Amino acid sequence: MQDLLNYVLLGQRVEQWFRAAAFIAGGFIAGKLCSWILALVLKHGASKTKSKLDDIVIAGLRLPLVLLITLGGIGLGLYQLVLSPPAALWADRILSIALILILAVGLNRIIGALILHYVPSKGRALIKGEAALQPVLRNFFETIVWIFAGVLILRKLGYNISALLAGLGLGGAALALASKDTLSNVFGSITVLVDKPFHINDRIKIGSYDGVITEIGIRTSRLRTLENRIVVIPNSLFAATPIENVSSAPHSKVSQTIQVKGDNSSEKIEEGLALLRELHKAVPGLEGPPVAALVSVGGLFCQISLIYNIAKNADYWATINGVNLETLRRFEGAGIRLM
C-alpha cells in the first residue's frame, strides 16, 4: 500500500494526488453545505424579523461565500502538489484573480440589493425617476467596484499600475470636465432622494421660482409656477440652493392691512374688528378664527391688521378672495367706510 502511495504519477506522488483531490472535493462539499445552511437561515429568519435588511445581506452573500469556500478547497488542494516555479506562480495568480472576482461579485450583489431595498420602484414614490434611478445607481457603484477589481487584477499580473493610471489620468480628467454638469444633476437627484426635501405635488420656493413640483427626473425637474408656467430646473440646484417647502407647513399664514376712514366712530371700528374675527364661520378654507387688531389711528385713516390661516388642502387664492369679499360685505352692511 505504501508503495502505491509513493508511486510517482505525472511528477507527483499518488498520496499527494489523493490529498489534493480530497481538499478540492471537500471544498465543493463545504460550499454546498454552506449554501444549504444559508437557504435555511433565509427561510426561517424571514418570518422572525421585521426588517428585511438581514435577509438581503445574507441573500447577497450566499453565492460569493459558496464560491469562496470552494476556491479555498481548490487552493488547499493545489498546495498539496509540488509545482514548478512558473506553475506555482500562475496557480497563485489564477487563485488571486478568482478571489478578487468573487469579492467584486459579492460586493456588487450587496450594493444592488440595498439599492433595490431602499430605492422604491412602485407605490407613492418620492420622485418619478426613482425606478429609473435604480439602474443608474447600480451601474455607477458596480462600475467603481469593477474598476478597482480590474486594477488589482492587472497589478497581480505584474503590470505597472502607476504608469497605466498616469496615462488614463489625462483622459479621465477630460471626461470628468465634459460630464461635470451631467454628474452634478445626477447627484442632485440623489440628494433629493436621500434628504427628501419635498415630494411630487409639493409647493416649493427655490431661487426666484414659486410653484408645484410636477416631475423629478434624473437630470432635470419640472415646476409649475403660480402663473401656470412650466419651469425646467437642473437637479444640481437642489444641492446648492436653499429650498422652502411651502406644502410642509400645516397651514398658510396670510397677513394684510385694512385701512378705514378716520371719521368712523370707535364703536364702528370695534364692530368691524368683531366682524373680522368671525370670518371663519362664513369663508370655507380658513383654519381657526382670524386675528384682528387696530394697529394705528389717525385723523385721515386708521389701520387694522388682519391675520388668518388657510387650511393646507384649501384653495389658496379662492380663500383669500372669499375673505376680502366677505370683509367688504360685512363692512358695507355695518356702515364702516374704507379708504
Q: What is the per-residue DSSP string for 111-161?
A: HHHHHHHHS--SSS-SSTTHHHHHHHHHHHHHHHHHHHHHHHHHHHTT--H
Q: What is the distance, to the nearest Å, from the Cα of residue 169 to the centroid of all Cα atoms in its chain?
A: 30
Is-above-0.85 flag for pTM?
no
- Report the C-alpha gap between 4 and 109 in whole angstroms: 47
* Confidence (pLDDT) at 13: 62
* Confidence (pLDDT) at 1: 53
Q: How many CB atoms lie within 10 A of CB 306?
A: 20
Give every CB contact of residue 74 below 8 A, 6+ residues apart in sequence. Answer: 23, 24, 27, 95
Residue 221: which of 200, 241, 207, 240 has the closest Cα? 200
* Confidence (pLDDT) at 132: 54
Q: Where in the chain is the domain with CATH 3.30.70.380?
A: 250-334
Burial 224-247 (b: 16+ CB within 10 A, else e): beeeeeebebebbbbbeeebebbe
- Report the C-alpha gap between 143 and 36 in whole angstroms: 31
- Report the C-alpha gap between 227 and 224 in whole angstroms: 8
Question: Is the CATH code 3.40.50.2300 the one for domain 250-334?
Answer: no
* Confidence (pLDDT) at 127: 46
Cell of 246: 411651502
Residue 235: which of 176, 181, 198 has the closest Cα? 181
* Confidence (pLDDT) at 14: 60
Reading across the β-sheet that carries 220-225, which strands appear in turn? 230-234, 220-225, 209-216, 203-206, 243-245
* Bridge partner list, 306: 256, 292
Please identify which residue in the block is written with the cell numbers 489523493.
Answer: 18
Q: What is the pLDDT along the chain (339 residues), one digit of tens a residue?
A: 554 555 555 556 666 667 777 777 777 787 778 777 777 766 665 556 566 666 666 667 777 788 888 887 777 777 766 667 777 777 788 888 888 888 888 888 888 877 777 765 544 444 444 555 666 677 778 888 888 888 888 888 877 766 666 655 555 555 555 556 666 777 777 777 777 788 888 888 988 889 898 887 777 888 999 888 999 988 888 878 888 888 887 788 899 999 998 888 889 889 999 999 999 888 988 988 999 999 998 878 899 999 999 988 888 889 999 999 999 999 998 898 887
Torsion angle, alpha carbons of 110, 111, 115, 117, to 10: 10
Q: Any idea what DSSP says for residue 52?
A: S
* Confidence (pLDDT) at 330: 92
